[in-house]
Amino acid sequence: MFDKLKAVESRYEQIGVELTRPEVVSDNEQFRKLMKEHSELTPIVEKYREYTKAKESEEEALALLEEGGLDKEFKELVEEELREAKSNIEVFADELKILLLPKDPNDEKNVIVEIRGGAGGEEAALFAGSLFRMYSMFAESKRFKVEVMNANETELGGFKEISFMIEGSGAYSKFKYESGVHRVQRVPDTETQGRIHTSTVTVAVLPEADEVELEINPADLKIDTFRSSGAGGQHINKTSSAIRVTHIPTGTVVECQDERSQFKNKDKALKILRSRLYDVAQREHDEAIASDRKSQVGTGDRSERIRTYNYPQGRITDHRIGLTIYKLEQTLNGDLDEVVDALITYYRAEALKSQEDGN
């Protein structure tokens, strides 16, 4: 590990020199790439330098103790410094192992989140609306921008389905573990006998794919226009501004009707399509290289029941990591940090264990 860290530090210093050269500064593309690499290496190098400083402190303390002849008070001070250095070395080494884990190339990307009502009819649609609100409030707390791409609203204010983009550096890293089936247990407003109903909602989290990463042949697309419609099917637009894009080779269909402009709807539909196709290609790649499907981090299996929201008990349970918290209202109001941080910590530990087992 430490040979790798020395190489990382050497590369970091080399980039620092490169960034001062006029020919690099004048080349926007090269300058941007180097700045990005420099930024990614900074936390590793800073932690490595903290580690080496702690090692130096340990060596100095050991040397003083080996020399002997220290008065009692100074000896106690040196022994305390030695204990602190040893503790720091252990902590910094663990942190460096995590920093050296292979980085998810999608972590810094924007995401497209698709929420669909599952079993439970109108109750599922209403909970889809609750999840959209939760994710929107969580995104806003991180200063991410939320933009609705397409929505199919029901008469009671829920969503049969809703697609929205979350823009901001690191958005995917915060939302990638939300893919899967979310189950809600509560008494619907329409239930006269107070019985608890169970409904499900499916969430898909897709990293935004740009045109460079995934090029779509226009000849593979079938594009239809139709009139936008609102809840209950009533027409809310007299012009055919809604867009339906079909990717013929895969049969993937995307509809967008949120904008009044046909051009804007088409642009949004293509963004969603590109991200869906990128997600499929990435999953196929992961499955091809993974010897054990379960060892993969953050697979986001659409059919996997990942979380239960129990209203009568005010409880949320994440089934993947066995986490249960009694903060339903706060969580649904966008306070997702405790759940997200627990998931990140768990999957990092799993990745670290897999890496150590492989060595």
Domain ranges of the chain: 2-99, 111-351
What was the pLDDT predicted at 315? 94
Interstrand relation of 315-318 and 323-325 (parallel, antiparallel or unpaired): antiparallel
What's the chain's average pLDDT?
83
Residue 301 confidence (pLDDT) above 50: no
111-351 topology per CATH? Alpha-Beta Plaits (3.30.70)
- List, in order, residues 6 or more apart from 331 with CB less than 8 Å away: 134, 316, 325, 338, 339
Tell me what the mean pLDDT of segment 268-286 comes to: 78
Residue 207 burial class via C-beta count within 10 angstroms: exposed 0-12, middle 13-18, buried 19 and up: buried
Residue 304 confidence (pLDDT) above 80: no
What was the pLDDT predicted at 349? 82
pTM value is 0.67
Select from 120, 161, 169, 127 the least CA-distant residue to 144.
Answer: 169
Residue 142 confidence (pLDDT) above 60: yes
- State phi, psi for 137 to the nearest 5 degrees: -70, -40
Range among 158-172, 219-233, 259-273 with highest mean pLDDT value: 158-172
For the chain, what is the total number of helices (H) and then of strands (E)? 9, 11
- Least-confidence region, from 47-56, 115-124, 285-294, 320-329: 285-294
Residue 298 confidence (pLDDT) above 60: no
Q: How far apart are CA 54 and CA 92, in angstroms?
A: 9
pLDDT band at 132; cut points 50, 70, 90: very high
